[in-house]
Amino acid sequence: MSLSLNQWTTRRWSLAEAVDGCVRHDLPAIGLWREKVAEQGLSESVKLLRSAGLRVSSLCRGGFLTGGGLPGEEGKRAFARALEDNRRAVDEAAELGASCLVLVVGGLPGVRPGEALPATGFTRDLAGARERVAEALAELAPYAGECGVRLALEPLHPIYCPDRAVLSTLGQALELSLPFPEEQVGVVVDTFHVWWDPRLFEDIARAGRRIASFQVCDYLHPLPEDVLLGRGMMGDGVIDFRPITEAVLAAGYTGDVEVEIFNADVWAADPDEVVATMKTRYTDVVLP
C-alpha cells in the first residue's frame, strides 16, 4: 500500500496546489473532490495529474440516491436528477483515471445534509430509502462498467444516517454490492465510520477484493458541536488502526491508503505541516 492525500485534508489548497504538495512531499497518489476538479476545470485537472505522475486514488463524490423515496412526481424528478448527476460523476472519474468513484448514498428522503429536520416534505421510511439505493445502483453499475469506473459504496457512522447515508455498516454496503461484478461495485473502509462495528473484521474478510478504497483518520472524543468535523489526525483519537490495516491487507487490498480529515483546526493549519504530520502518523500509527 502507498499513502494518498485526500485533498479535503488540505482544504485550503486548490487542486493545483494539492498536486504540487503531493509532488514535494513524495506522495504517489491523491484523492480528489468534484468541487475542486470543477474549479480547476476537468481537462486542466487531467493535465496537471498526468504531468505530475500522480494516481487518483478516488473521486468523491457521487451518491445521494434516496430522493426517489419522496411521493409522486417529486420523487420521480429527484431520482432522475440523481441518476443524471451520478452519470456525470462517472464520466469525470473515467476522464481522471480514478481508481473508484465514492458514493455517499444519501439519508432519509427530504432531509438535507447538516440542516434541521423540515416540518414537512420528508419521509421516515428508512427501509424504503435503502431500496431506492439498490434501484439506483441497478441503473448506474452497468453504465460505470461500460466506462471502466468502479463505484465504491461508503457506509457512514450511524450519526449520519438521517441526512447523509442510510448505509451505516460495512456489511450493509457489502450486501448491496454483491449483485454486481466486483469490478463495477465495491465498498469503502473508512476508519472514522466503521471502527466501532463489532462485525468489522468479519465483514472486511468477507469483502475481500471488493474493498475499493481504504481511508483513514481518527475519531475524536468528545465530538465537536458540528459532528461532521469530528475527524482527527491519526493518533489524536480513539481508533486502534493497526488491526484494521492488517485486516484490510489480509483481505487482499493493494490500493492506496487515503487520509481524509474534516477538522477546522487541521484546515486552518499550514497544509505543508499537515502533510508532514500525516506522513509521520501513517508510519507510526497506521502501518502494521
Q: Within its chain, how far is the Cα of 176 from the centroid?
A: 16
Strand partners, 151: 101, 185
- 50, three cell numbers: 498526468
pTM reported for the whole predicted model? 0.97
Residue 76: CB partners within 8 Å, gap ≥ 6? 68
* Ramachandran region, residue 47 (left: φ > 0; alpha: ψ -120 to 50; beta: rest): alpha
> Is 214 in contact with 251 (CB distance < 8 Å)?
no
Q: For position 227, what pLDDT does the model report?
A: 96
Per-residue pLDDT in tens (0 to 9) along the chain, 288 residues: 899 999 999 999 999 999 999 999 999 999 999 999 999 999 999 999 999 999 999 999 999 999 999 999 999 999 999 999 999 999 999 999 999 999 999 999 999 999 999 999 999 999 999 999 999 999 999 999 999 999 999 999 999 999 999 999 999 999 999 999 999 999 999 999 999 999 999 999 999 999 999 999 999 999 999 999 999 999 999 999 999 999 999 999 999 999 999 999 999 999 999 999 999 999 999 999
Count the neighbouring beta carbons within 10 Å of the beta carbon of residue 252: 12
State residue 219's pLDDT score: 98
Cα–Cα distance, 87 to 143 (Å, whole number): 8
**Domain 3-286 fold:** TIM Barrel (3.20.20)
pLDDT at 1: 83
Domain segments of the chain: what residues?
3-286
**Strand (E) positions, 115-256?**
151-153, 185-190, 211-216, 218-219, 231-232
Question: pLDDT per residue over 94-126, tens digit each?
Answer: 999 999 999 999 999 999 999 999 999 999 999
* Rounded Cα gap, residues 95 and 148, in angstroms: 10
